[in-house]
A and B are shown apart, each in its own frame.
Chain A
Amino acid sequence: MAVDEETIRRIARLARLELGEAEVARLADEASKILEWVEVLGRVETAGIEPVSAVIPKPHRWRADEVTDGGLGEALLANAPARAHGFFAVPKVIE
């Protein structure tokens, strides 16, 4: 499957990536090649085979409903670019 430049621009916008025109062309080419390569798998007959969600069968572990975390204080906010009154502070995002 070929990926066109418009698709690359849309994906970049959704991922909040800023791309130059040269990069767009290069990525369209690379993405197309990657998809072509993966499409090889399409040749395998998979009708009637259950999708594999885990290689090692393992019963899921559920957590008991107990409060065991939180109250991190400084550790939580330490890396925040900005903060105020215990909140994370970010540029105004209201629409």
Chain B
Amino acid sequence: MSTGAIIEGRTGPWEMVLGLEVHAQVISKSKLFSGAATAFGAEPNAQVSFVDAAFPGMLPVLNGECVRQAVRTGLALGCTINRWSRFDRKNYFYADLPAGYQISQYQHPVVGEGALEIALEDGSTRTVGIERIHLEQDAGKSIHDLNPELSYVDLNRAGVALMEIVSKPDMRSPEEAGAYVATLRAILRAIGACDGNMQEGSLRADVNVSVRRPGAPFGTRCEIKNVNSIRFIQQAVAFEARRQVAILETGGTIHQETRLFDPDRGETRSLRSKEDAHDYRYFPDPDLLPLELSEAFIEECRASLPELPAARRMRYEAELGLSPYLARLLTADMEQSVWFEALLAETAARQGRPAREVAEKAANWMTGELFGALNRLGLGIGQSPVSPAQAAALLAMVADGTLSGPLARQVFELMLETGEDPAAIAEARGLKQVSDTGALEAAIAEVLAAHAAKVAEYRAGKDKLFGFFVGQVMKATGGRANPALVNTLLRQALG
């Protein structure tokens, strides 16, 4: 199955093997086991309960919404849902883990195996297996750079619900790893289980990397912890695979270890750790009953799922007749996809035509004109100065001949600047296409009179001059003449 990036080493080809553990913060108002808030950016330690701070005698109570989101995520990824799962304690000491253990799910996760299909740049697809998804608590945050002798600890994040989504070691190139995270992120956002905000740490990944001769058994892997952007994941993977190949080709061996990615240097570094650092001594949390799910609960979760990106992509191709490229571009991001749905509905309604007939023009306009403009302005789709309804009005004016392509572009620029409706802009600035036969005939007559010599040449057989006349008429009308009409009328006049 592996046609991924092969590393040509000095001693022959090597293949990288990648598996990802994605930590996704569950969208919930309160924490996994306490009633403290989860909102980002609060004052230090303002959103902490005695449970989160591990005060003696405090007991965890499970937040049902977090379970619901994990099950919905599992269903969206086609995973088995385990009717019986259990919470375990993962024991380790760190200043931002007040209890001395993290409540997680070790042997019996709530979600089992599934699969995610990813699309690659060349249009091919690949399936990445999902190993499991479990629920666990986030730790607090340590701040090391505010005081030379002390670390400061903020427990606002302590106890916030995370889903750990573990893939199988099915990826073979940085591109596949990037596509996997992007696709997973789109699904999580589409179903509202995680906001996918990588800057704020709502989505981060531990990346397992090993290399082997193509087809050989798996090599020893290294884990790169806490990488928080798709670009960094790809850089980290590429660097780490080359590092391992260099060691193996000089006769060395890879030691299983945890590493950090340094984005400034573009390299991974060993996290010095003691040999027993990974002895977590898991055991079932005696404060919590096993998690048992009813069929009714699982069906409720299933019924609450919206159309998923892959299904929407296929629908765009089959029902709307969009190219695979456009379909993928418009479904990769939930917000963009919602915007396109609104644009399509408005456009079809305004032009009184079925969605299928207007879809391609709307899709081309959105991915070309709109994405180009937003890119230039550094804005996300959510901040677009032009609404779907306004864009549909613009497309309708092109469809009925009120605006030519170049005029539409001018009007769109003014819409971006002013936020006004296209009809108002075209009216106020006189940007409407001139389709008035009388006015155009007059303009043509003037042009022909002014270039009598060229008219004679044209009539003597110099056909190429036709374009010159069109240009002159367009110039005389300030670019607003309807080009099709100009052609027809010119031919008549020169006839």
Q: Is the interface of B mostly helix, strand, loop or mixed?
A: loop
> Residue A95 at the B interface, CB < 8 A?
yes
Convert B20-52 into 0s and 1s, putting 1 for each residue whose CB lies closer than 8 angstroms to a CB of A: 000000001110001111000001111111110
Q: How many chain A residues touch the partner (CB < 8 A)?
A: 36
> Residue B63 at the A interface, CB < 8 A?
yes
Which of A76, A82, A87, A94 has the most chain B CB atoms closer than 10 A to its own CB?
A87
Q: Are B94 and A67 in contact (CB under 8 A)?
A: no
CA–CA, A93 and B93, complex, Å:
11
The contact of B45 among A16, A54, A87, A92, by CB within 8 Å, is A87
Convert A12-26 into 0s and 1s, putting 1 for each residue whose CB lies closer than 8 angstroms to a CB of B: 011010000000000
> Residue B61 at the A interface, CB < 8 A?
yes
Known contacts A16-B93, A69-B35: A92-B152 contact under CB 8 Å: no
CA–CA, A85 and B152, complex, Å:
9
CA–CA, A10 and B277, complex, Å:
11
Known contacts A14-B279, A86-B43, A92-B144: A63-B152 contact under CB 8 Å: no
Inter-chain residue pair count (beta carbon < 8 A): 129
The contact of A53 among B63, B65, B152, B289, by CB within 8 Å, is B289
Q: Are B142 and A93 in contact (CB under 8 A)?
A: yes
B residues apposed to A, CB below 8 Å: 28-30, 34-37, 43-51, 53, 61-67, 86, 91, 93-95, 142-144, 146-155, 271-273, 276, 279, 281, 284, 289-292
Question: Can you list 20 A-B pairs, Cβ within 8 angstroms, ordered by A?
Answer: A58-B289, A60-B291, A61-B61, A62-B67, A63-B35, A63-B63, A64-B65, A65-B30, A65-B65, A66-B30, A68-B35, A69-B50, A73-B46, A87-B45, A87-B153, A89-B152, A90-B153, A91-B151, A92-B144, A95-B272
Supply 15 further A-B pairs (C-beta < 8 A) apart from A53-B86, A89-B151, A94-B144: A53-B289, A62-B62, A67-B30, A69-B49, A70-B37, A70-B47, A70-B49, A77-B45, A85-B146, A85-B152, A87-B153, A88-B95, A89-B147, A90-B153, A91-B151
